[in-house]
Amino acid sequence: MNIINRTRRLRKNPTIRSMVRETKLSIDDFIYPLFIVEGENIKKEISSMKGVYHFSVDMVLDEVKELLELGIKSILLFGIPGSKDEIGSEAYSSQGIVQKATREIKKAFPEIYIITDICMCEYTSHGHCGILTDKGEVDNDMTLTYLGKIALSHVEAGADMVAPSDMMDGRIGYIRKVLDEDGYETIPIMSYSAKYSSAFYGPFREAADSAPACGDRKAYQMDCANSDEAMREIMYDIEEGADIVMVKPALSYLDIIRRVNDNFNMPIAAYNVSGEYSMIKVAIENGILGEEVIMEVLTSIKRAGADIIISYFAKDVAKFLK
Ligand code: PBG
């Protein structure tokens, strides 16, 4: 046999394989999302997301301790308020659920890096990500003023970074201006820049009780068929001052992550969303897939070009890597 190229030589054993491995996951890449609810002594599994829980503020402290022990240093907070109204006033109240959780977690664990999700859908009675006009459309510019208030209230409570997920036009520039005017020019913004209107958010909407009461989010979230448009979204967000840009969801959008990486010199986050998590979790629990699939899937997100991965699997990753 006259075979010149024998690629199997570098696959011969684990040592050589790890030496030539191009993509390595590190626990430093991960952000772990947490859902906080009002009340006390609550740690309740979310039925559509096995292994993910609703925590009351008192109970989330134990969870954060465990995360730190596992080497997970940053969390993304979502709040489920006690009451909702048309204008989502609990979202920007200093006594709101995320604000309370941020203060308590920071008090107990100053070293944890807290990122907060900036959106209105968990807080509005109609479940849309902004303020509605008389016609029932989301009023973009009016919504910005609320997003600014929400971001400021989170930062005042001690958030290290804010992450707007609403998909309104101009929000990054507006939030940047509000934070800067209040002396928070050192707080970074991670923008959900290319956020697609996706069926993969289903379990999250149950977890956050945030499904729109009528209609859908297609008038503000992106059409899954579009890639050029994602480049424009990313470009506008960078121009407006985003520090980190995000692609969401991750798995059906690996081509978008790669394209952002090829075109922009920015830190890129990818959100491995609830539906992607539950789909795999259910397959593992039913013995259809082996749990190694978790690392394979997450590696694909990093290989596509993500620097940061937001994932409900972060604790599993920490255990695999140990
Ligand atoms: C809020 C928001 C959503 C997610 C993150 N922030 C849901 C949505 O837009 O409906 C989804 C996260 C996930 O599915 O894990 N707008």
Say how many Å lie between the CA of residue 19 and the centre of ligand 1. Answer: 38
Task: With respect to residue 181, please indicate whether it lies within any of the assigned structural domains.
Answer: yes
How crowded is the C-beta side of 170, counted as CA atoms within 13 Å? Answer: 11
Query: Which amino acid does the sequence have at 153?
Result: S
Overall domain count for the chain:
1
Tell me which DSSP letter residue 85 carries. Answer: B
What pLDDT is recorded for position 209? 87
Is the CB of residue 220 below 6 angstroms from any atom belonging to ligand 1? Answer: no
Compute φ and ψ for 199, nearest 5 degrees.
-75, -10
Is the CB of residue 205 below 6 angstroms from any atom belonging to ligand 1? Answer: yes
Q: Assess contact for 164 and 116: CB atoms under 8 A.
A: no
How far is Cα 248 from Cα 233, in angstroms, rounded to an integer?
Answer: 12
- The DSSP string of 300-311 is HHHHHT-SEEEE
pLDDT digit string, tens, across residues 2-60 = 999 999 999 999 999 999 999 999 999 999 999 999 999 999 999 999 999 999 999 99
Is the CB of residue 168 below 6 angstroms from any atom belonging to ligand 1? Answer: no
How far is Cα 129 from Cα 138, in angstroms, rounded to an integer?
Answer: 8
Question: Which tokens hold the place of 130?
Answer: 């902004």
Alpha-carbon torsion, ordered 242, 190, 150, 117, to 10 deg: 160
Give the domain CATH number at 110. Answer: 3.20.20.70
Task: With respect to residue 259, please indicate whether it lies within any of the assigned structural domains.
Answer: yes
Which residues, other chains included, contact 14 with Cβ-Cβ below 8 Å and sequence gap of 6+? none
- The closest residue, in CA terms, to atom 7 on ligand 1 is 201
Tell me which DSSP letter residue 10 carries. Answer: G
What pLDDT is recorded for position 126? 94
Task: With respect to residue 68, please indicate whether it lies within any of the assigned structural domains.
Answer: yes
Task: With respect to residue 123, please indicate whether it lies within any of the assigned structural domains.
Answer: yes
Task: With respect to residue 15, please indicate whether it lies within any of the assigned structural domains.
Answer: no
How far is Cα 130 from Cα 203, in angstroms, rounded to an integer?
Answer: 21
What pLDDT is recorded for position 284? 98
* Residues of the chain under the 70 pLDDT cut: none
Say how many Å lie between the CA of residue 201 and the centre of ligand 1. Answer: 6
Is the CB of residue 272 below 6 angstroms from any atom belonging to ligand 1? Answer: no
- The DSSP string of 227-294 is SHHHHHHHHHHHHHT-SEEEEESSGGGHHHHHHHHHH--S-EEEEE-HHHHHHHHHHHHTTSS-TTHH
Task: With respect to residue 300, please indicate whether it lies within any of the assigned structural domains.
Answer: yes
Range of the domain at 39: 23-321
Task: With respect to residue 30, please indicate whether it lies within any of the assigned structural domains.
Answer: yes
What pLDDT is recorded for position 234? 98
